[in-house]
Copies of this chain bind each other. A is one copy, B any other.
Amino acid sequence: MGVPIVGVVGGGQLARMMIPAALELGIEIRVLAEAEGSSARLAATQVGDYRDLDTVMAFAKDVDVVTFDHEHVPQDVLQALVAAGVSVQPGPGPLEFAQDKLRMRQRLAELGAPLPAWAAVSNPAELQEFIDAHHGVAILKTPRGGYDGHGVRVVRSGEEGADWFQNFEQLLVEELVDFRRELAQLIARRPSGEIRVWPVAETVQRDGVCNEVIAPAPGVAGGPSRLAEVATDIAESIAEGLGVTGVLAVEMFETTDSRLLVNELAMRPHNSGHWTIDGSRTSQFEQHLRAVLDLPLGDPSALDPHAVMVNILGGPQQEAITDRFEVAMSHVPEAKLHTYGKSARPGRKVGHVTVTGHDLDEVTYRARTAAEFFSDIDSSDIESSDIESEA
């Protein structure tokens, strides 16, 4: 075999951050971007609609494996690729669960994963029944189309879901979990079965947007802990049970009574794993490429005792992010900056900063300081359309 060619559907920042890893490994990477000027434009070989079968088939014709920047490629397109003999990683099977929250809950329940209380409800009466059984409040989710801030709602009565029942036969309802913090277990799996697990991280949301990631999650550093073991077991059983290939992020709640409950899954590199570029021997982007090509996985161990990643939200409105280099770099020379090649917009993730080191308080302070220099955030400006679209 010659130089392997990986085709990535989607030209966002996740595809962008695969480019350095591909270049160093000597893997050719080609991106099918939604539009000109995408984050991954340097490797974009085609611009087109990922929902159009002919477009995706043409793109997939000359690559060794197709993988993804997002989970939105329709099942009929995915299945046509597989039928044509294309290696699709992760495959349509696991992606179906990432695309349908109700099927995901059902399958995770079958696998015995710890979940928040949940139910499939078909009408306001059933929804009311669930709410009554769970302290008068619940989270209602549409099974599909949960992007751009749509599809998730806190409800206190069955009637509050009435409009959605007109469009969906069933909705997913979940208890509002009383959690201490949110964790993310990042894991990679190759088709032939090998699995590698990064240290579990804590994710901190701000106005519904992932803002900060601390790896490892405080309290699990410096050796094996029960929490880390449970998180790893959960992620391994999900990766194997669903047959996920590539990187999988399992977002979890740590409840106030110290249980872990699975919240969401992402079957691709994920914001909760951006710290691995600078903080781990193998970044999630390199590992994803190795995994989807069914190559041996890299060592995911941490390089420093602590890593803190802070997203750059918004970014300078009237100037380029590079205009902030002078002040940010002179104050925090050890900060590792990663930009996404996007124009600034309130609340939009336009990059991130990672700092690693031995003292968690100092690392956190310095990462926040560096990110602050690059961000122009006014949380009242955050558009709901940004909240779920860029995990």
Chain A interfacial positions (CB closer than 8 Å to B):
1-4, 16-17, 19-20, 23-27, 42-43, 277, 281-282, 290, 295-299, 301, 303-304, 320-323, 325-326, 329-330, 333-334, 336-339, 341, 351, 356
Among A42, A297, A321, the one with the most B-chain Cβ atoms within 10 Å of its Cβ is A42
In the complex, chain B residues whose CB is within 8 Å of the CB of A290? 325, 329
Q: Can you offer 10 A-B residue contacts whose CB atoms are under 8 A?
A: A3-B322, A4-B322, A19-B23, A20-B24, A26-B322, A290-B325, A296-B329, A296-B333, A299-B333, A299-B334
Copies of chain A in the complex = 2
Q: How far is the CA of A297 from the CA of B333 in the complex (A)?
A: 7
A138 CB, min distance to chain B CBs, angstroms:
42
Q: Give every chain B residue within 8 A of A334 (Cβ-Cβ).
A: 281-282, 298-299, 301
- What would 11 more interface pairs be, CB under 8 Å, given A16-B23, A24-B339, A296-B325? A17-B24, A20-B20, A20-B23, A23-B42, A24-B336, A24-B337, A25-B322, A25-B337, A26-B322, A298-B329, A303-B303
A278 to chain B, nearest CB (A): 8
A30, chain B: closest CB distance, angstroms: 11
Cβ–Cβ contact A26 & B295, under 8 A: no
Determine the distance from Cα of A107 to Cα of B290 in the docked complex, in whole angstroms: 49
Q: Which of B3, B295, B304, B325 contacts A320 (CB 8 A)?
A: B3
Taking CB as reference atom, which chain B residue is nearest A298? B333
Q: A1-B323, A3-B320, A304-B303 are in contact. Are A341 and B296 (CB under 8 A)?
A: no
Contact check, B330 vs A296: say whether CB atoms are below 8 A apart. yes
Contact residues in B for A16 (Cβ distance below 8 Å)? 23
Q: How far is the CA of A3 from the CA of B344 in the complex (A)?
A: 13
Q: How far, in angstroms, from A23 to B325 measured CA to CA in the complex?
A: 14
Per a CB cutoff under 8 Å, which of B1, B323, B333, B336 touches A322? B1
Q: A1's closest neighbor in chain B, by CB?
A: B323
Question: Hey, which chain B residues are within 8 Å of A43, CB to CB?
Answer: 42
CB A338 to nearest CB in B, in angstroms, measures 5
Q: How far does the alpha carbon of A17 sit from the alpha carbon of B26 in the complex, in Å?
A: 12
Q: What residues of B have a CB within 8 angstroms of the CB of A321 in the complex? A: 26
Residues in B whose Cβ lies below 8 Å from that of A42 = 19, 23, 42-43
CA distance A341 to B2 in the complex (A): 12
Q: Which residues of chain B have C-beta atoms less than 8 A from A24's C-beta?
A: 17, 20, 277, 336-339
